[in-house]
Structure 1
Amino acid sequence: MAIEIERKFLINEKLLQKPVKKISMVQAYLQTDPDRTIRVRITHEAAYLTIKGRGNGISRPEFEYEIPVDDAEELLKLAVYPPVEKDRFHIVVNNRTWEVDFFKGANKGLFLAELELDAEDESFEMPIWITKEVTGQEKYHNSYLAKHPFSTWK
């Protein structure tokens, strides 16, 4: 079984030197409930269908499959909430690749970094641009942001 072990952090985008290469993406959710989320994502390179199960700590089952872009565009029309748009940057710090997301659209102004690990207790060095860990906080899940965009937070 595929397991995702991930930690999530807020960042100070002013301390971050963004790489030139970015991946723009749009993603939408076909199902969101505590036991599973089903997501479709389109980037400029490819499209994916992802199924994630209920989390246990910072781990959860994750299955991701590349699908034809035409199919993904049709699946976006079936989404239960408006899509989430963001630019993603891959930033390597001490031989670890961080995925840093600059949200757009209704979530503009939110900046998150994610780090995938091989084990829940794996240690790593925090980059200077990390401000706060938000792992496990539902409001920072992309599926939550689709329902409750950052622009509506008080």
Structure 2
Amino acid sequence: MALEIERRFLVSGQQWRDVVSWQRDFAQGYFPNSSAAMTSRVRLAGTEEAWLTLKFPAGGIARQEFEYPIPGADALALLERCEAKLIKRRFGLDLPGGDWVLDVFEGENAPLVIAEVELEQADQAVEIPHWCQREITGLGTFSNAALASHPFARWSETEQAPWQGALGQG
């Protein structure tokens, strides 16, 4: 079991593209859970690489993460059974202070662009790039699971309004 400790940010502008080191497309599906505390996900990269993931709160911004590789065909079959899905392009970023990735969401979650940094400890100091406009760490409405079941395009004008200034084109 791994411990996932991450901070998340809404991104504005295109300057993050200067630090991209790799990119991948992901389709993700989420399963309904008997407990709101657990997230269960299937993730497919391309047609071959896939993972089944379970996440549980571990206090503060940390979560316990159990992730297992599964065959791509199994992931496709599981994705067909998921009602809550999303598609995104993930970029690895060459930045100091942690493992940085950035997700450009597609479909009903466009124009959301969210950067994440995985940390070794919750109180770890990290330099936040200026294009990270607003921290959303711990805000459940911006979790991938929440965006899969209630995409940004379906948010009411009142729900979207506080975030419009921090949104940019990916």
Aligned residues: 153
Q: State the superposition RMSD in angstroms.
A: 1.6
1:1-154 matched pairs, under 5 angstroms: 1-17=1-17, 19=20, 21-32=22-33, 33-44=35-46, 46-81=49-84, 83-94=85-96, 96-153=98-155, 154=157
The 1:89–1:125 alpha-carbon spacing in structure 2 relative to 1, beyond 3 Å, is same
Identity level (%):
39
Unaligned runs of at least 5 residues, structure 2: 158-170
Is the 2:7–2:118 contact (alpha carbons within 8 Å) kept by the matching residues of 1? Answer: yes
* Misfit runs of 4+, over 6 Å: none
Structure that is richer in helix per residue: 2
The one-character-per-residue Cα deviations of 1:41-77 (angstroms, maximum 9, x if unpaired) are 0002510000001352100111111100000011112
Instruction: Note the residue ranges of structure 1 that are not aligned, 5 or more in a row.
Output: none
User: C-alpha displacement at 1:129, in angstroms?
Assistant: 1.3
- Partner secondary structure for residue 75 of structure 1: helix
Aligned partners of 1:31 and 1:39 also within 8 Å: no
Query: Could you state the TM-score of these two structures normalised by the residue count of structure 1?
Result: 0.92
Q: TM-score, normalised by structure 2?
A: 0.84
Superposition deviation, residue 35 in structure 1: 1.7
